[in-house]
Amino acid sequence: MLNETKLKDLLHGSEYVLTYEDREGDWMLVGDVPWEMFIETCKRLRIMKSSDAIGLAPRAVEKCKSRT
């Protein structure tokens, strides 16, 4: 079964990060929100260069708070 740890371990130590697009069209880093929220909202995954992913998910914390 796929889980957050397995997803993040795939790219550990590389120059790439795993990102996803949520239902609202925002791109965020995998691991920025709780796993349950991720599996409910993820539309697609993308592997990005770390340098291209800088600044992603500035609203991730706000989204988490609004769902609780």
Has residue 42 got a pLDDT over 70?
A: yes
The model's pTM: 0.64
Of the spans 4-8, 24-28, 30-34, 49-53, which averages the highest pLDDT? 24-28
Domains of the chain by start residue, with CATH = 4-63 (3.10.20.90)
Count CA atoms within 13 Å of residue 29 on its CB side. Answer: 18
Give the position of tokens 């992603």: 56
**pLDDT tens, residue by residue, 12-37:** 677 888 899 999 999 998 888 898 99
Give whole-number Cα distances, 55 to 15, 26, 41, in Å.
16, 12, 20
Average pLDDT, the chain: 78
Per-residue model confidence (pLDDT) at position 11: 61
